[in-house]
Amino acid sequence: MDVLATQMPRFLQAIWLTIWLFALIATVSTLLGLSLALFVNGPRGRRALSVYTWIFRGLPELVVLLFCFLALPRIGIDLGAIGSAFLAFVLIGTAFHAEIFRAGLAAIDPRLIETSRSLGMGRMLMLRRVIIPQLARISVTPWATFLAGNVKMLSLASAVSVGEVMMVTRQSLAISNDPMTLILFAGAVYAAMASVVMVAELLLSGLMRRRYGPINGGMT
Amino acid sequence: MNWSVVTDNAGLLLEAFGTTLWVAGATIVLSVVLAFPLAVMRDGPIRSLRIVSAVFSWVMRATPALTLLFLTYFGLPQVGIYLAAVPAAIAGLTLSATGYNMEYIRAGLRAVPSTQYEAARALGMPFPMILRRVIVPQAIRTIMPPLTSNLTLVMKGSSLAGMVAVTELTGAGMALISRTYQPFEILIVIGLAYLMLNGVLIWLQHRVENWLSLPGQG
Amino acid sequence: MSATDGPLLEVAGLEKTLGAQHVLRGVDFAVNRGEVLAIIGASGSGKSTLLRCLNLLIRPDNGRILWQGREVGWVQNAGKRMPARERDLLGYRTQISMVFQSFNLFPHMTALQNVMEAPVMVMKRPRDEVRAEAEALLEKVRLSHRASAYPHQMSGGEQQRVAIARALAMRPEALLFDEVTSALDPELKGEVLSVMRDLASEGMTMVSVSHEMGFVRNVADRVVFMHKGRVCEAGDPKDVLANPSTPELQAFVRSVTD
């Protein structure tokens, strides 16, 4: 308990680092994943995209992380601990988000697109006014589920000595004879952060359902 | 690129591959076996069991697998439970996977219409028989796809065991890298091994889905 | 009153509240052995809840259910009246079998397997004997040729007839029918109703919630009209339907004949 108290300033710093790293990774990988899902077309592009997503969804996050941190510097790309964690999680997150949004696009009612075209909408207008709003409805739950997992995934960054919560926990373990308390505290911190994401999703999808009714306008 | 680091240590890497299979396999089996009764409790008739299993599921899903792993490896000895590295890793990973599997199984059980319970009760069936003969055979179609796709996550998750001194693929890789300092070759080989396992599991997933879509399965 | 000469099933003062809804407000009636009782009433009058109380799928809050003169659903425990445990109701349910509006066949079993399930699994009877009996029951509902079909391969009328065979396979003393033709297309209602008519003429005791006025008039021995959770009128269907004495039944008869 005393170790937890003395380490508290470092824990608070670590929590702050975890939060902004998460926010940055989530934003960048969501935008990249969305762009890939929307704009990669044609058989060749689709093929390349599916190879990319298969690799980064299939590899353990830890292996990707070690690759960015240990192997890339050997070919002259040295991003440091936080930089390589950022790159690794963006590579992984983009792959997942591209999959999530691609599945969401496939679930949009084709009659909505037909209707938009019959109204003379161009591609970009249709994207902005019809497709993205529908996609937001359909994909919000899998997107937020992935992000809640992503918060927890950041604990892996401790493996490459990024000073986030798990890293401080591991360092504190070395000087503590009460590991249980430290680990339970770390668990509670992650659980709280992941729960915020999950609750936000519930509120957001509930709000959209109340305002806009069922997905795809309830067309059957 | 100098691949001799891989060929020289082929024995070690193969052994580590075996450990990965063992850790992942044990986690999969244990987590499914544990998740089933918990999922039944979660929607069951007894209020206290409902609450216990709901809290369990939420805690396990909200906490990183790595933290749970630390709990079983560093934390349990404090309360007098000493586990070797591999069993401790399996225990931690199982806790994490059980939280997710519970939800898949529960969703599948809930997807069976309540009229099926009613019809079975009207035939005089006791609750365990209703589960075994009526609910599970129907729920299995909904349960299996997410459960098998979760297998790939469990397999990936076994890499965390490398962080508590288990020499599975990733742990062995980290040890080799710090000894030889050839991260490229080692990580590429390890990555390929994981992708291969992933391919096998995805193939398995398709087999299961095909099997479930056979006539007579509903 | 001995078990043989009294009514087979008797309910008294049955009450049930579901959520905020006082669905049953004291229902009394009796069914004699071999009798066909029809329960009619507007939707929301408590008919389906009443039926589910009869085999205790739903526990009534108050009132008594007497089966062959003995109370079911409650036990005397140290002088106190306690609800019986679910597992003590299982034997009773096999004696008073139910057919549902939406058939509720088990989708993962063939017609024959659906019929055999309860006798083999619940009543632990030998499989060969049950199979022979189940085949005979499918023949009785004119579905021998569909024995190996799965529910999704059958029409609604066929599914409902399998459901009747499944209920009969427990050799029940009485059958409960919950609007069994409501979910069927008009041309499929006839085949189910004719099976029910056969059963009635064989002397099966039946309690049927029904909207089929033809069935009520021609097959039922007695009709009970439910209104707002109470028995509003009861008697011989020909009399009661031709000369309804309460304004509620008059309105109901008008609405179903229009």
Tell me the CA distances in angstroms from B120 to B13, B111, B189, C97, C105, one per residue in order. Answer: 53, 16, 54, 11, 9
Searching chain C, which residue's CA lies closest to the CA of residue B218?
A: C108
Among C87, C98, C108, beta carbon nearest to B122: C98
Please give, rounded to a whole number of angstroms, the shortest distance from the CA of B162 to a CA of chain A: 9
Are A191 and B191 within 8 A, CB to CB?
Answer: no
Q: Which of residues 135-174 of B touch A (CB under 8 A)?
A: 152, 156-160, 162-163, 170, 173-174
* Partner-chain contact B62 A198, CB within 8 Å: yes
- Chain B residues with CB within 8 Å of chain C CB: 115-116, 118-127, 129, 133-134, 137-138, 215-218
Chain B residues with CB under 8 Å of A191 CB are: 59, 62-63
pLDDT over threshold 60, residue B216: no
Q: Give the integer Cα–Cα distance in Å for B118 and B114.
A: 6
Q: Is B108 on the interface with A (CB under 8 A)?
A: no
Asked whether B and C share 3 or more beta-carbon pairs under 8 angstroms, the answer is yes
* pLDDT reported for residue C44: 82
Give yes or no for A58 touching B (CB within 8 A): yes
Distance CA B115, CA B124 (A): 14
- Contact criterion met (CB < 8 Å) for B119 and C57: no
Q: Which of C86, C100, C108 sits opposite B218 (nearest CB)?
A: C108
Average pLDDT for chain A: 88
**CA angle A91–A93–A97, rounded 5-degree value:** 120
CA separation (Å) from C188 to A50, B164, C153, C155?
A: 51, 67, 15, 8
Inter-chain residue contact B216 with C100, CB threshold 8 Å: no
Distance from CA of A120 to the nearest CA of B (A): 41
Q: Is A198 on the interface with B (CB under 8 A)?
A: yes
CATH class of C9-257: alpha beta
Q: Which of A67, A166, A195 sits opposite B67 (nearest CB)?
A: A166
Q: Which residue has the higher pLDDT, A6 or B19?
A: B19
Q: How many CB atoms lie within 10 A of CB A7?
A: 19
Which pLDDT tens digit goes with each residue over A22-70?
999 999 999 999 999 999 988 999 999 999 999 999 999 999 999 999 9
Query: A58, B65: Cβ pair inside 8 Å?
Result: no
Classify domain B18-168 at the CATH topology level: MetI-like fold (1.10.3720)
The pLDDT, as a whole number, for residue A2 is 75
Q: Does C184 touch chain B (CB under 8 A)?
A: no
Q: Phi/psi at C42 (nearest 5 deg)?
A: -65, 160
Per-residue pLDDT averaged across C104-108, rounded? Answer: 88
- All residues of chain A having their beta carbon less than 8 Å from the beta carbon of residue B58 are 195
Touching partners of A (3+ C-beta pairs < 8 Å): B
pLDDT at A216: 63
Domains annotated for chain A, with CATH where assigned, are: 2-218 (1.10.3720.10)
pLDDT tens, residue by residue, C8-34: 999 999 999 988 889 999 999 999 999
- Residue B71: the pLDDT is 92
pTM of the model: 0.81
Which residue from B21, B22, B29 is spatially nearest to B147, judged by alpha carbons?
A: B29
Name the token pair of A157. Answer: 């960054």
Task: For residue C166, list chain B residues with Cβ-Cβ distance below 8 A.
Answer: 123
Computed over every residue of chain B, the mean pLDDT equals 90
Token pair of B90, please? 């399996």
Nearest CA in chain C to B121: C57
Distance from CA of A27 to the nearest CA of B (A): 21
Q: pLDDT value at position A220?
A: 44
Asked if the ipTM is above 0.90, the reply is no
Q: Which residue of B has its CA nearest to A170?
A: B70
Residues of B in contact with C93 (CB under 8 A): 121-124
By Cβ distance, the residue of B121, B133, B138 closest to C57 is B121
Of A114-128, B78-92, C92-106, the range with the lowest mean pLDDT is A114-128
- Cβ of C150 and B216 within 8 Å? yes
Q: Is A183 on the interface with B (CB under 8 A)?
A: yes
Q: Is the pLDDT of residue B215 over 60?
A: no
Q: Does B99 touch chain A (CB under 8 A)?
A: no
Angle, to 10 degrees, between the axis of helix C156-168 and the axis of helix C127-140?
130
In this prediction, residue B218 carries a pLDDT of 42
A180 touches chain B (CB under 8 A): yes
Q: Which residues of C86-123 are buried (b: 16+ CB within 10 A; e: fewer)?
A: eeebbebbbbbbbbbbbbbbbbbbbbbbbbbbbbbbbe
Hey, are the CB atoms on C122 and B125 less than 8 Å from each other?
Answer: yes
For chain B, the first-to-last Cα distance in angstroms comes to 54
CA C250/CA C254 separation, integer angstroms: 6
Q: Identify the pLDDT of residue C2.
A: 45
Q: Smallest Cβ distance to B133: which of C117, C123, C170?
A: C117
pLDDT digits (tens, 9 = 90+) for A136-147: 888 988 898 899
pLDDT band at residue C1 under the 50/70/90 scheme: very low
**Cβ-based contacts of C108 with chain B (< 8 Å):** 137-138, 217-218
Q: Are A105 and A34 in contact (CB under 8 A)?
A: no
Q: Chain B residues with CB inside 8 Å of A70's CB?
A: 177, 183, 187
B104 vs A: CB within 8 A: no
Of the listed ranges A193-197, B4-8, C7-11, C95-99, the least confidently predicted one is B4-8
The band of C3, judged by pLDDT with boundaries at 50, 70 and 90, is: very low
SS3 B36: helix
Does the pLDDT at position A1 exceed 80? no
CA distances from C245 to A93, C127, C226, C236, C242 (A): 74, 53, 14, 13, 10
Q: Which chains touch B (3 or more CB pairs under 8 A)?
A: A, C
Whole-number pLDDT of residue B214: 64
* SS3 assignment, position C248: helix
Please check whether residue B191 touches A, CB under 8 A: yes
Q: Count A/B contacts: CB-CB distance under 8 Å.
A: 114
The DSSP code sequence of B61-88 is HHS-HHHHHHIIIIIGGGGT----HHHH
Q: For A87-132, write each residue's pLDDT tens digit.
A: 999 999 999 999 999 999 998 888 888 777 777 787 888 888 888 8
How many whole angstroms separate alpha carbon A28 and alpha carbon A40?
A: 17
pLDDT band at C68 (very low <50, low <70, confident <90, very high): very high
Preferred mutation among C51, C106, C180 to probe B, highest tally of B CBs within 10 A = C106
A158 vs B: CB within 8 A: yes
In angstroms and rounded to an integer, the radius of gyration of the C-alpha atoms of chain B is 21
CA B157 to chain A, closest CA, distance in angstroms equals 7
